[in-house]
Structure 1
Amino acid sequence: MLPALFSPLKLGPFELAHRVVLAPLTRMRAEPGTLAPHVLNAEYYAQRATPGGLLIAEASPVLPTGFGNPNVPGIYSGAQVAGWKRVTDAVHAKGGIIFLQLWHVGRVSHSSYQPGGALPLAPSAVAIGGDLKTMTADGKVASYETPRALVTEEIPEIVTAYRRAAHNAVAAGFDGVEIHGANGYLIEQFLQSHTNQRTDRYGGSIEHRTRFLLEVTQAVVDVWGADRVGVRLSPYGIANGSGEPDPMPLYTRAVEALNSFKLAYLHLLEPRSSGAGRADVDWRNVPSAMVLFRPIWNGVLMAAGGFVGDTANAAIADGYADVVAFGRYFISNPDLPRRLAHGFPLTPYHRPTFYGGAEKGYTDYPAYDEMAEA
């Protein structure tokens, strides 16, 4: 038994029965064409729902310009709202709580995903360089393109899109939302100095670079109320060409500013899992995000990145985190909370089936009892 991990916790208006959270995980299994969740997605989330347990549904673009991968579900159309309603109904039938992660990838895209074949949007015209490649909509490997820099007047329109998406999440039956400000996507592109070379009110100083994050947060809080909104950040991450030379001043300012909202939680990704699903990353001698920012953050702190039962329990028992989000092992163990509570062995995950496909590697992982009977 892991007492800290399985003690109750008040998160916003909710009383969590345990502190094992499903992390938001891109799986690329939405319905082609509509990009709406369907029956298989509802089954996947329902399998992982427990009474009083929190699930964070996968990142969902707030606009058609927000995609960088195939068959990712959106949250801007009526069909997508109806599809997500199927998912939330299935989770609620199991007694679970479910938030939706709101997303825009910014420059982490390709013109093949963009309406009219336009260039991806970003704070500045800075391409993702190095050896990183992207997969185009027709399945080819390509270099990232240099994105188009947003003009100042367009930025409030994207904030408004987050507001609309928040309303859509209400209509879809979610219990709250999480704003994706991590892993090198649009919000983090505004935050970090090498991707934000603007000279207007959204660029330059740390105060200006955090403006977009705070405007999006305010827009979403206006819809949901602060106690049903979380924000995810990755201060020491390097995913998708991200990374700030000295993260502490920037992210200290961001976290301190987010404190004023009194959000449901702050979700921090540990540096050791900065690969954002592309590869296992094991950083040595890199500061822990939860350890660094726990003294700064006043509310519930969620940690994610490479945790197993013992390390998650220790993080909570030591006071560095209040809840822990699990990704890969929640994919391969739909009954993960029960397995951790009883010390049952964990089924290994299979990385080749993470993205795309159908049931295989998605809904066909058995619960422990089913394995024992086999």
Structure 2
Amino acid sequence: MSQKYETLFEPLMLPNGVTLNNRLVMAPMTTQSSFVNGMVTTDEILYYKRRSKGLGAVITACAHVQENGRFAGSPSAATDAHIPGLAKMARAIQENGAKAILQVFHVGRMGDTRSLRGEHPVSASAVPALREEAEVPRALTTEEAYEMVEAFKEAVRRGIQAGFDGVEIHGANTYLIQQFFSPHSNRREDHWGGTLEKRMALPLAVVKAAKDAVETYADRPFILGYRFSPEELEEPGITMDDTLALVDELKRTGLDYLHISTGDVMQTSIRNKSQKKPVVQAIAEAVNGEIPLIGVGSIHTPEKAEEARKMGMDLIALGRALLVDPDWAVKVQEGRPGDIRHILKQSDPEQAEDAALPDAMWEYLLSRPGWVEIEE
């Protein structure tokens, strides 16, 4: 292994005492491959097993906490009947020494009646997303918001009982938790909205409920993380000032890490073009080492991973790089970064088999030209 990459393979002890073997984790990515009822498929299990080698942790695709919080092909953590399948997923990840982290979410207004099998999407307020054919969601009642918090708590319990090493709360990528934090989607005037502090109420309540589940059900140290998107383009939308206020509250809750969701780990503010500092660096400076940070976004080479480490990212999440080459981490650690595969050849049956991508995920990748480089 080249000395310039050795910091990627240093172990990291999280605040709860759990040690990750190195600083590389697999980013949560939607496989769209679970059964219609949210049960985990064999294809998904093989997909995770193939990619867990050489990593400190694997964060799964988002599992919905309520049936009205799903999208097509998402795994479910909404009922106890889903625990056995989730357990198989956890074991497949852990077989190669990586920690298994279950991401939990609710789709909120990003769902639609078709994918919800006739149910109407819900959100903080009856404000549609700014996308084509977005449906106007139904605003959750005050009581339903409390029930949502309980649903997240129960999903964490199921993650514990399925044998996962941790859970990541998905408060990013415009899904329900972010919708409660966003001034665009949250126009409420009750306990759950209005001021910045009240817009933080549901995210912080979910974290507290998750902590309660860990204290009640876990018989060993259990990792708890939170993912967030730093900004929104919507007006009004989440600003960096909003996010720094939320981060300040989150780091007091006893979480083990914060995961900053960006399309490119080097990106600067999408709202303030005069700000030239990468947003992850600005957050790292504000956090000042008080809680581990995960950086993600267009990290395809070990050089870029090292750049992100130098900006204050304690952990580096690899997404598309691991879709194309599941052995990315192994090759870097063995001093073979030149052998990393950067193009998927769909016509090569051996390579397609080696990639272990579920059919639904192949279709998804092909429908998004340029997201990963695919040679037909």
Residues 157 and 244 of structure 1, relative CA distance in 2, 3 Å threshold: same
| 1:174 matches 2:169 | no
1:234 alignment counterpart? 229
Offset at 1:349? 5.2
CA distance in 1, matches of 2:48, 2:235: 32
Q: Which amino acid aligns with 1:103?
A: F
Runs of 4+ more than 4 Å apart: 242-246, 283-287, 349-356, 358-362
What CA deviation, in whole Å up to 9, does each residue of 1:298-331 have, x standing for no partner? 1111111112311211221x25110010110111
Q: Which amino acid aligns with 2:227?
A: R
Local SS of the residue matching 2:61: strand
CA distance in 1, matches of 2:313, 2:255: 15
CA distance in 1, matches of 2:68, 2:266: 24
* Structure 1 vs Structure 2 CA RMSD: 2.8
CA distance in 2, matches of 1:286, 1:351: 37
CA distance in 2, matches of 1:16, 1:323: 10
CA distance in 2, matches of 1:63, 1:15: 31
Which stretch of the first structure deviates more once superposed, 51-60 or 181-190?
51-60
Local SS of the residue matching 1:344: helix
Residues 144 and 167 of structure 1, relative CA distance in 2, 3 Å threshold: same
Q: Which amino acid aligns with 1:154?
A: E
Offset at 1:46? 1.1
1:38 alignment counterpart? 41
Structure-1-length-normalised TM-score: 0.83
Q: Which amino acid aligns with 1:234?
A: S
Residues 361 and 108 of structure 1, relative CA distance in 2, 3 Å threshold: closer
Which structure 1 residue ranges, 5 or more long, are not aligned?
A: 134-142, 276-282, 363-374
Residues 250 and 186 of structure 1, relative CA distance in 2, 3 Å threshold: same
1:25 alignment counterpart? 29
CA distance in 1, matches of 2:235, 2:266: 10
Match among 320, 333, 338 for residue 328 of structure 1: 320
Local SS of the residue matching 2:101: strand
Q: In percent, how many aligned pairs have the same letter?
A: 29
Offset at 1:43? 1.2
CA distance in 1, matches of 2:63, 2:145: 19
Residues 177 and 244 of structure 1, relative CA distance in 2, 3 Å threshold: farther
Structure-2-length-normalised TM-score: 0.82
1:91–1:97 contact (8 Å) kept in structure 2: yes
| 1:312 matches 2:311 | no
Q: How many residues align?
A: 337
1:156 alignment counterpart? 146
Match among 183, 208, 226 for residue 218 of structure 1: 208
Residues 261 and 74 of structure 1, relative CA distance in 2, 3 Å threshold: same
CA distance in 2, matches of 1:99, 1:254: 23
Which stretch of the first structure deviates more once superposed, 151-160 or 242-251?
242-251
CA distance in 2, matches of 1:312, 1:51: 15
2:182–2:238 contact (8 Å) kept in structure 1: no
CA distance in 2, matches of 1:334, 1:94: 13
What CA deviation, in whole Å up to 9, does each residue of 1:10-46 have, x standing for no partner? 12432222211100110111123x3211222111111
Residues 350 and 126 of structure 1, relative CA distance in 2, 3 Å threshold: farther
Local SS of the residue matching 2:177: helix
Residues 53 and 211 of structure 1, relative CA distance in 2, 3 Å threshold: same
Residues 57 and 28 of structure 1, relative CA distance in 2, 3 Å threshold: same
CA distance in 2, matches of 1:146, 1:274: 34
What CA deviation, in whole Å up to 9, does each residue of 1:242-267 have, x standing for no partner? 67646122111110101111211000
Mapping 1:1-374, distance limit 5 Å: 1=2, 2-11=5-14, 12-32=16-36, 34-50=37-53, 53-67=56-70, 69-114=71-116, 117-129=118-130, 132-133=131-132, 143-225=133-215, 228-237=223-232, 245=237, 247-272=239-264, 287-297=277-287, 298-307=290-299, 308-316=301-309, 318-341=310-333, 342=335, 343-348=337-342, 357=359
Local SS of the residue matching 1:254: helix
Offset at 1:97? 0.8
CA distance in 2, matches of 1:347, 1:324: 19
CA distance in 2, matches of 1:351, 1:219: 45
1:99–1:174 contact (8 Å) kept in structure 2: yes
Residues 52 and 14 of structure 1, relative CA distance in 2, 3 Å threshold: farther
Local SS of the residue matching 1:166: helix
Which structure 2 residue ranges, 5 or more long, are not aligned?
A: 216-220, 268-272, 347-351, 365-376
Local SS of the residue matching 1:36: coil
